[in-house]
Amino acid sequence: MEYRPTEWDARAQQLWRDLAVYRADFPSDRKPFYVLDMFPYPSGAGLHVGHPLGYIASDIVSRFKRHQGFNVLHPMGFDAFGLPAEQYAIQTGQHPAVTTETNIERYREQLNRLGLGFDWSREVQTCDPAYYRWTQWIFLQLFGAWYNRAVERAEPIETLVAHLSARGTEGLNAACHGEPNCTADEWASMNAAQREALLQHYRLAYRSESLVNWCPALGTVLANDEVVNGLSERGGHPVVQKPMLQWSMRISAFAQRLLDGLDELNWSDSIKESQRHWIGRSQGARIRFNVLARGAGEVASNQQLVSGEAGEVASNQQLAAGEAGEAGEAASNQQLVAGGAGAAGDAHVLEVFSTRPDTIFGATFMVVAPEHPLLGAWTTEAQRADVEAYRERAARRSERDRQADTKTVSGVFTGTYVEHPFTGAPIPVWTSDYVLMGYGTGAVMAVPGHDSRDHALAKAMGLPIVQVVASSEPVDVQAEAFEAKSGRATASDFLDGLSTVDAIDRAISELEQRGLGERTVQYRLRDAVFGRQRYWGEPIPIAYRDGVPEGLPVAELPLKLPAVDKYLPTEDGEPPLARAERWVSAEGLPLETTTMPGWAGSSWYFLRYMDAQNGTAAVDRTAADYWGQVDLYVGGSEHATGHLLYSRFWTHALHDLGHIGFREPFKRLVNQGMIQGISAFVHRIEGTHTVVSAELAGQYATQKLHVDVSLINERNEVDRNALKAWMPSWAQTEFIPAEGPIKVEREVEKMSKSKYNVVNPDALADQYGADAVRLFEMFLGPIEQSKPWDTQGMAGVVGFLKKSVRLMEKRHAGEASTEELRALHGLIEKLQRDVETLSFNTSVSAMMIAVNAWSGLPQLADATLRDFAVLLEPFAPHTAEALWAELGGEGSVVLAPYPALKSEYLVKDSVNYPVQFNGKTRYQIDLPASATPAEVEAAVMAHEKTAHFLEGRTPKKVIVVPGRIVNVVA
RNA sequence: GCCCAGGUGGCGGAAUUGGUAGACGCGCACGACUCAAACUCGUGUUCCCCUGGAGUGCGGGUUCGAUUCCCGCCCUGGGCACCA
């Protein structure tokens, strides 16, 4: 039997299609097993060898579980909405659906070429109206829900409305923004717009005026996870903070549950840590400082900025009536911005959040954020000019500037003082941009003795620094803040002598008693902006009745993307959907013009696979109950705080609303590492067309230029003619030396088209066979690790496959020998263990070892070979299929049961004991496995070499580890 | 700066609960086959001052015995970054 990979690949893949071997059944009596890959965005560049790494691993697990009798769900689909297709549409006028479809075709071909066993009958595409109909439906579910903190659960908005009409906001414990409140009577007298304005503060999908990340270059807003260092994640364009009326998702309501849920998940520590950090829970207290009367006159004169109750109602109405995309008036902006951060509207009180209330006696000044809405109210006339100038300067600085420049300390005194709650001492109020409006209350009590940022400002401004926590070691808080959370309170009145932990507790209860503060938990996690000013996304199913948003009737879904003449914003800056001719609901109401962000469709796709064809529900509850959580999810770690957090959020919400029976979507998560490329560089003399061989490059002034790795041979030499033909700019190339090899320099880099180091999996499959590609990707190393791709290494796995096929020459119909069975069952045992940990690199080497062992035997039983074909199948299914057919197997080897492990073949009857003298291995001795420690010791002492290595000493101790080792201590 | 993961031959990497460091493969060298090359097969391949010694990023420690456990550092990759 000759090894014919390309022929076998095609034949096996045809067989699998004919028999539909990868179809997941529902309903079924078998136990389910759900293996999921993060679905790709189908880019125009196609797949390179790095992409399928995770798919191959998950494919192996799927195939293994199928052999073990599980009903395996292993689907694939496409995350098909996205910016590249839209950019291309803007440039060419071609509808993004067309490019997307072409790219998907190519991806599907490439995936199939590798023999990945996906159940394509369940394929989903997020841009397909039959799919996004349900994304829109989920949006409506969230729009129609609120979070009831009393029971820690999302509930339909009707229960909130019932509460409001019975008791108003009294006794309501809900996740919300701002400080909405009303009585039952007020609620009863409100009109529809007023009611909706109030409900908006509670809905899980809501619209509010808030500071958003606006990316002018992309012409859209971005979620926090899409902004990296003040630049957009896609494209690296600058991002600025800007108040805008936007749709958001109230993920913050689930902060605690998203944090707690991590404990039960089998995910990597680093991803869990990232999520914990992103959620950023901190425990502490809110503390209120009374603003001293001296500033009262000023406060009164600034009432218009602090309109209090009346302002809140007014801004609500504006919100309800506000035009989409139109920024409201400054006053209402500030109200809502402040509301979002939870600042109190009372200018007579300055509220701060602190995790160290124990240091309250060390608070020598207060700092409020420059954006703080009450800053104006707290500024005296004498300081107004300075504060205004500072505020303007801070507003002008972009997020990025502020981050880049954390060294410079700046701040301005407001002229106002607050009263220390315990000592009554006046404390000056400052403003400085190290305090952020978006976190806590936008104000801090500065304790320069025990916080380095406060310390820096105190130093710069000459403010007093006092020590209120003592350590066992001497500390000088004048020189440096002492930030450790382990010490004893000092110079702190009733806290003196208490440990930090106790002092925090005591300080809080004292504050609570006096009504000046309370224990609080604060989260860093912000609500996620949900609208995008873009075309290529799911339309948001909202219509406006007299400016009041209302969900479309479910019967009107899907709300399909309209045809537009251009994929650009309108002349007045409206999103592209505003270009549609009649963008109105069935009833004729104007529709929302922003679309959903990329993470919408990917937040629930794993549910749709369970019931992909369902036309009446996103997923049938019985199907969701049967398949349950994803058993194994494989994908890149770059989605740590985006996709993986959002999909957890949606899953929790859908669970609460009764649509599914579990809260957490992904039981186990594995992050595959990156496969790097080995780039090739030629040295070219600057300003010329002359390329110099790498070893001579030092003699010239050269520049290093990327050249395509396909032009390079195994000896790192570039093909002269191929280089000239590569691109027109290289046609004139001359070489030094004129004859002989031209060496290139090589370097490991990220695999990317622009670095010309991309290796294509389908090209490799055509050359070596799909199985060789699969095996080699796995053989490269542990799945989670990054490692460079070196095509030369393919020879090793090709050799293995050829050897495997050559075993057929030894086949016979008789009984298997003990020796071949030992190799077989040793292999079964090893593979079963490896599947649990996804250690497929060692699986491949274990198979190599077994095949090497069998190659040394004169003959092999058909039964052994047939079992081997099944063992090989998850890794090299095409070759396994060919062997199976040759051995007369029925149907497809994919459906064959896994060979049972016979542990009697694993026990050895003799043990090779290494013998150490003082920890150094000197010789080895074979002894029966049944030998007792005493017998082993006796055998060692009787051994001829023992005397030699003892060198006349008497052994003090002989350590015998049964079955392992002997160590003679002399 | 903080958090997480990781440093083992020329290269990718292997090593149950602490028990023969370098499995398996690439590369390299030599040999066989061949007119020759490729393919294929076989042998060898951690290093060194080689009857021995050293060695898993560095320095200590625990132990009969440490890649594995503990303490202190260095480096690489990833995440977060004024979060009070």
- Asked if strand B comes closer than 7 Å to A919 Cβ, the answer is yes
A686-734 confidence digits (pLDDT tens) = 889 999 888 788 788 888 888 888 888 777 788 888 899 899 999 999 9
Residues 111-150 of A with CB under 7 A from strand B: none
Distance A946 CA to B48 C1' (A): 27
Distance A759 CA to B42 C1' (A): 33
Closest CA to A118 of A15, A18, A10, A23: A23
Mean per-residue pLDDT for A391-418? Answer: 79
- Residue A944 DSSP symbol: H
Rounded, the Å distance between the CA of A772 and C1' of B37 is: 25
pLDDT digits (tens, 9 = 90+) for A8-60: 999 999 999 999 999 999 999 999 999 999 999 999 888 999 999 999 999 99
Place of tokens 């699969």: A774
Task: Report the Cα A631 to chain-centroid distance in Å.
Answer: 18
Report the side by side order of strands in the sheet with A71-73. Answer: A71-73, A32-37, A632-635, A669-671
What's the pLDDT band for A867 if we cut at 50, 70, 90? very high
Backbone dihedral region of A93: left (phi > 0), alpha (psi from -120 to 50 degrees) or beta? left
Of A227 and A498, the one with more pLDDT: A498
Burial of A573 (0-12, 13-18, 19+ CB in 10 A): exposed
CA distance A780 to A790: 9
CA A508, C1' B1: Å apart?
A: 30
**Statement: the CB of A964 is under 7 Å from strand B:** yes
Three-state SS string across A559-613, please?
CCCCCCCCCCCCCCCCCHHHHCCCCECCCCCEECCCECCCHHHHCCHHHHHHHCC
DSSP 8-state symbol, A743? B
CA of A919, C1' of B62: distance in angstroms: 16
Per-residue pLDDT band for A404 (boundaries 50, 70, 90) equals: low
pLDDT band at A910 (very low <50, low <70, confident <90, very high): confident
Nearest nucleotide to A438, CA against C1' atoms: B83
Identify residue A144 by its one-letter amino acid code. G
Residue A865 CA and nucleotide B28 C1' are separated, in Å, by 34
Instruction: Determine whether the distance from the CB of A228 to the nearest atom of strand B is below 7 Å.
Output: yes
Give chain A residues 15-44 with Cβ within 7 A of strand B.
Answer: none
In angstroms, the CA A540 to CA A143 distance is 11
- HEC string for A170-195: CCCCECCCCCCCCCHHHHHHCCHHHH
CB-strand contact A270/B, under 7 Å: yes
Compute the residue count for chain A: 970
Q: What tokens does A500 get?
A: 């930090």
Q: What is the pLDDT of residues A282-332, one digit of tens each?
A: 999 999 999 986 544 444 444 333 333 333 333 333 333 333 333 333 333
b/e map A663-691, b = 16+ CB within 10 Å: bbbbbebbbbbbbbbbbbbbbbbeeeebb
Name the residues in A675-714 having a C-beta closer than 7 Å to nucleic acid strand B.
Answer: 714
Nucleic strand B within 7 A of Cβ A92: no
Long-range contacts of A480-484 (CB under 8 A, 24+ apart): A480/A452, A480/A455, A481/A448, A481/A449, A481/A450, A481/A451, A481/A452, A481/A454, A481/A455, A482/A449, A482/A450, A483/A450, A483/A451, A483/A452
Task: Please report, rounded to whole angstroms, the spatial distance between the CA atom of protein residue A919 and the C1' atom of nucleotide B20.
Answer: 11
State the pLDDT at residue A747: 81
Instruction: Compute chain A's Rg from CA coordinates.
Output: 35
- The nucleotide lying nearest A280 (C-alpha to C1') is B83
Question: What is the pLDDT of chain A when averaged over all its residues?
Answer: 89
CA atoms of A336 and A311, how far apart (whole Å):
10
C-alpha closest to that of A857 among A806, A904, A813, A797? A806
Instruction: Say if residues A847 and A871 touch (Cβ distance below 8 Å).
Output: yes
Angle, to 10 degrees, between the axis of helix A157-167 and the axis of helix A192-199? 110
Measured over the CA atoms of residue A491, residue A494, residue A499 and residue A502, the dihedral's sign is negative
A774 or A324, which is more confident?
A774
Please give the share of chain A, as a percent, with pLDDT higher than 90: 63
The 3-state DSSP class for residue A894 equals helix
Nearest nucleotide from residue A715 CA, by C1' atom: B27
Identify the pLDDT of residue A241. Answer: 76
3-state helix, strand, coil in chain A (%, to 5): 40, 20, 40
CB neighbour burial string for A128-138, b if at least 16 within 10 angstroms, e if fewer:
beebbbbbbbb
Alpha helices, DSSP H only, in A238-301? 255-261, 269-279, 296-301
Please tell me the distance from the alpha carbon of residue A341 to that of residue A368, in angstroms, as a whole number.
Answer: 13
Q: Which nucleotide is nearest to A523 (CA to C1')?
A: B83
Provide, in whole angstroms, the distance separating residue A255's CA from nucleotide B5's C1': 26
Least trusted range by pLDDT, from A52-66, A198-212, A346-360, A949-963: A949-963
Concatenate the DSSP letters of all residues of A374-415 into one string. Answer: TTTTT--HHHHHHHHHHHHHHHHS-HHHHHH--S----EEEE
Most confident of A226-230, A331-335, A407-411, A881-885: A881-885
The answer to whether the C-beta of A570 is closer than 7 A to strand B is no
Per DSSP, the three-state class of A455 is helix
Instruction: From the CA of A278 to the C1' of B83: give the distance in Å.
Output: 10
Neighbours of A791 (CB within 10 A): 16
Residue with tokens 């993920």: A251
State how far the Cα of A935 lies from the Cα of A913, in Å rounded to an integer.
Answer: 13
SS3 A958: strand
Distance in Å from B82's C1' to A485's CA comes to 19
Question: Under a CB-based contact definition with an 8 Å cutoff, are residues A350 and A599 in contact?
Answer: no
Strand B close to A837 by CB, under 7 A:
no
Q: Is the CB of A781 under 7 A from strand B?
A: yes
Q: What is the pLDDT of residue A401?
A: 67
Judged against a pLDDT cut of 60, whether residue A756 lies above it is answered with yes
Structure confidence at residue A917 (pLDDT): 87
In 3D space, the residue among A875, A670, A900, A770 whose CA is nearest the CA of residue A63 turns out to be A875
Nucleotide at minimal C1' distance from the A233 CA: B79
A278: the nucleotide nearest its CA (via C1') is: B80
Gap from A271 CA to B5 C1', Å = 10
pLDDT at residue number A439: 87
Whether cis (ω within 30° of 0) applies to the bond prior to A27 is: yes
User: In the complex, which nucleotide's C1' lies nearest to the CA atom of residue A444?
Assistant: B84
Structure tokens belonging to residue A945: 């070499």
Q: How far is the CA of A950 from the C1' of B50 (A)?
A: 22
Cis peptide before A737 (omega within 30 of 0): yes
Identify the residues numbered 591 to 610 in chain A whose C-beta atom is closer than 7 Å to any atom of strand B: none
Residue A483 has pLDDT above 50, yes or no: yes
CA A269 – CA A8 distance, rounded (Å): 42
Of the candidates A897, A899, A869, the one whose C-alpha atom is nearest the C-alpha of residue A884 is A869
Which nucleotide across the nucleic acid strands is nearest to A968, CA versus C1'? B64
Q: Which nucleotide is nearest to A352 (CA to C1')?
A: B84
Bases in strand B with any atom closer than 7 Å to a protein CB: 3-5, 11-15, 19-21, 23-28, 40-42, 53, 64-66, 77-84
pLDDT tens digits for range A815-850: 999 999 999 999 999 999 999 899 999 999 999 999
pLDDT given at position A437: 85
Residue A123 in 3-state DSSP? coil
Burial class (CB in 10 A: 0-12, 13-18, 19+), A920: exposed
Residue A485 identity: K
Question: pLDDT at residue A601 above 60?
Answer: yes
**Is the CB of A344 less than 7 A from some atom of nucleic acid strand B?**
no
Chain A 846..865 CB hits on strand B (< 7 A):
848-849, 852, 855
CA atom of A434 to C1′ atom of B74, Å: 33
- CA of A940, C1' of B48: distance in angstroms: 31
Q: Which of A183-187, A332-336, A370-374, A495-499 has the lowest mean pLDDT?
A: A332-336
User: What span, in angstroms and rounded, lies between the C-alpha atoms of A606 and A38?
Assistant: 9
pLDDT at A218: 83
Q: Judge residue A442's burial from the number of C-beta atoms within 10 Å of its C-beta, 0-12 exposed, 13-18 middle, 19 or more buried.
A: buried
User: What pLDDT does residue A173 have?
Assistant: 95
Q: What b/e string do you get for A272-293 counting C-beta neighbours within 10 Å, with b at 16 or more?
A: bebbeebbeeeebbbbbbebbe
Q: How far is CA A643 from the centre of its chain?
A: 6
Protein CA at A613 to nucleotide C1' at B45, angstroms: 59
A786 CA to B59 C1' in angstroms comes to: 30
Bridge partners, A743 (sequence order): A717
A226 touches strand B (CB under 7 A): no
How confident is residue A678, by pLDDT bands cut at 50, 70 and 90?
confident
Return the percentage of chain A with pLDDT > 70, whole number. 94
Q: Which of residues 629-648 of A touch strand B (CB under 7 A)?
A: 637-638, 640-641
Tens digit of pLDDT for each residue in A542-593?
999 999 999 999 999 999 999 999 999 888 888 999 999 999 999 999 999 9
SS3 at position A896: coil
By C-alpha to C1' distance, B14 is nearest to A842
How many Cα neighbours within 13 Å face the side chain of A91?
Answer: 7
Q: What is the ipTM of this complex?
A: 0.94
Do A531 and A221 meet the contact criterion of CB atoms below 8 Å apart?
A: yes
- Rounded to an integer, what distance in angstroms lies between the CA atom of residue A970 and that of residue A952? 10
Average pLDDT over residues A421-432: 94
What Å value separates CA A47 and C1' B16?
38
A405 touches strand B (CB under 7 A): yes
> Tell me, in Å, how far CA of A752 is from C1' of B30?
40
- The average pLDDT across A649-654 equals 97
Distance CA A535, CA A539 (A): 8
Compute the distance between CA of residue A218 and CA of residue A43 in angstroms, rounded to an integer. 18
A440 touches strand B (CB under 7 A): yes
List the structure tokens of A484.
């450790």
Angstrom distance, A783 CA to B43 C1': 33
Task: Output the distance from A848 CA to B37 C1' rounded to whole Å.
Answer: 29
Residue A785 CB in 7 A reach of strand B: yes
Window 797-816 of chain A: CB closer than 7 A to strand B? 797-800, 802-803
Please check whether strand B approaches the CB of A359 to within 7 Å. Answer: no
- Quote the pLDDT of residue A350: 95
Closest nucleotide to A784, Cα to C1': B5
- Looking at the C1' of nucleotide B16, which residue has the nearest alpha carbon? A833
Q: Residue A622 corresponds to which tokens in the numbers above?
A: 């019985």
Cα A245 to Cα A230: distance, rounded to the nearest angstrom: 21
